[in-house]
Every structure is written in C-alpha cells, then in structure tokens.
Amino acid sequence: MKLKLHVWRQKNAASAGRMVRYEAEADEHMSFLEMLDVLNESLITKGEDPVAFDHDCREGICGACGFMINGVAHGPMPGTTVCQLHMRHFKDGDELYLEPWRAAAFPVIKDLIVDRGAFDRIIAAGGYVSASTGSAQDANAILVPKKDADRAMDSAQCIGCGACVAACPNASAALFLSAKVSHLGLLPQGQPERNERAIKMVAAANHELFGGCTNIGECEAVCPKNIRLEFIARRNWDFLKASCTFREEKAAAGAG
C-alpha cells in the first residue's frame, strides 16, 4: 500500500519544527514502526536525515514508543501501542499526520521523540517500598484479598508511555500518577509509605507542571493498557487522607 505521511520534523529542542510530507510504501503485515523503518532506509539512501522516534522492545511492554497519529495517541486502535499497531488497519492512499506528544512537561528532543524524564522523577519521589521483600515467596505466604490483588495488577500494567498526558486537554498526568500510587498502596508491602507516597508523588507531579484533572476521560480512552479512571478517584482519596493525617500529626506535635 502507498501512504502520504506528514511527519513533524524538529532538529532539536531549540529549533522550530514543521510538518514534512513523505511518500511511503508498506505491507499490511508490517507494524507501524516497521513502516517507519522502511521510510528511514529510503531517506538514508537519499542522504537525508531519518525520522527520529522512540522505541525499544516493540512488544508493547517498555512504554518507549508513542506519538500522535491523526491526532490520536498511539493511533486508531484501542488498547494498542504504536509498536503493536499494524498497517492492515490502514488503507491504500491514506494520509497520516504524525506528531510528538504535546505537553509542557514533555519537551520535544527531536522529531517524534520527547523527554519523559518527568515521569521518572515522579516515580523516584515515592514509587518504592522500604519493606525488604527478599527472594520470591510462596504465593500464599502473604494474604492479599483477591479484589485488592486484581486492582493492584490492573494499575501496575501502566507502562508510563505518556499517552494519557498527550490526550488530555489539560496535559494532566493524573492517570499515570494514580496507577503508580495505587499499585503499591493496594498491597501490604506498600503500606509503610502509603501516606508519604501519595503526598510526595502528587507534589512531584505538580512541580513538573502537569495540568490538573477535570475528569474528561480522554486519558482512559487512549491508554494502551486500559488503566481505568477509577484509579484517579483512589489516588485522590489516598492524597486527601494522607494530607489530613499529616496535619493532625503536625498539630499534635505542636501541642506537645
């Protein structure tokens, strides 16, 4: 199939970017990134600069890949990363517009690559447990209610790709943040830092200048791992509870 591609080209963070039109050919069995590989091979052959895009495992696990395809994060297929998106979902002659994530917290590095270091700094602020877990234990050694275990696994599926931020009109990281706060807060090992985690990670997200959540739901719609909005409500509850506990402890310390 033949495609018309309009790709955002930007030499570096300091330079101005623009859309550049390319003609591309692809087989329906190719993944979207394989189609870009073929495009880049042709550009290199012509002595032109290849299109820069993030990728690693190409199996929808690492969260490295991701950009907008016709205004939709990761493209038209739900529950799918760009690397899992195949060309059979497009038609011969389609015109596609490829752009990087757009958010103040995700500055463009080059072409379709953005700096998602803000996510790493949020995780570093509180996404850990101090409990020594040791080697793998028997599955029944630590009793966790199935409902909590299922929810923890659901939230832990977040790969930190940034699609939720790119899709949100406010550039909010609420869905990512809620997933990272929830999957540890639901398990026994995560309880010692539960309050501190909620406060520190929310503070880190605010410091990175992500927007606020207004429950529009675009984040859930484009999430390749189908993280649900209900985790945002849980994160809000954890943060509210932690804030009240902190104020009570501070007041008690002052009274003493």
Q: Distances from the Cα of 191 to the Cαs of 130, 183, 247, in angstroms? A: 10, 11, 19
Can you tell me the mean pLDDT for 59-69? 96
CA distance 253 to 26: 67
- pLDDT at residue 155, rounded to an integer: 96
**Main-chain phi, psi angles of 66, to 5 degrees:** 150, 125
- In the chain, the amino acid numbered 52 is A
- Number of helices and strands in the chain (H, E): 8, 7
Enumerate residues 6+ apart whose C-beta is below 8 A from 179. 155, 156, 157, 158, 227, 231
Enumerate residues 6+ apart whose C-beta is below 8 A from 46. none
- Judged by DSSP in three states, 18 sits in strand
* Percentage of residues of the chain with pLDDT beyond 70: 95
Can you tell me the mean pLDDT for 106-134? 91
At the top level of CATH, which class does the domain 2-110 belong to?
A: alpha beta
- pLDDT at residue 144, rounded to an integer: 87
Q: Residue 69: name the closest of 159, 1, 3 by CA.
A: 3
What is the arrangement of strands in the sheet containing 68-69, beginning at the earlier edge strand?
18-25, 2-9, 95-99, 68-69, 72-73
Enumerate residues 6+ apart whose C-beta is below 8 A from 75. 32, 69, 82, 85, 89
- With beta carbons less than 8 A apart as the criterion, state whether 210 and 173 touch: yes
pLDDT tens figures, 132-151: 767 767 767 778 899 999 99
CA distance 51 to 44: 10
Can you tell me the mean pLDDT for 92-111? 97
At the top level of CATH, which class does the domain 116-131+138-255 belong to?
A: mainly alpha
The Cα angle at residue 88 between residues 86 and 89, in degrees rounded to 5 = 80
- pLDDT at residue 138, rounded to an integer: 75
**Torsion over CA of 57, 63, 65 and 69, rounded to 10 degrees?**
140
Can you tell me the mean pLDDT for 163-175? 97
Mean pLDDT of the chain: 93
pLDDT tens figures, 217-251: 999 999 999 999 999 999 999 999 999 987 766 66
CA distance 189 to 203: 22
- Give the tokens for residue 185: 């807060």
- pLDDT at residue 139, rounded to an integer: 66
- pLDDT at residue 252, rounded to an integer: 65
- Break the chain into its structural domains and give their ranges: 2-110, 116-131+138-255
- Give the tokens for residue 227: 């993280």
- With beta carbons less than 8 A apart as the criterion, state whether 3 and 90 touch: yes
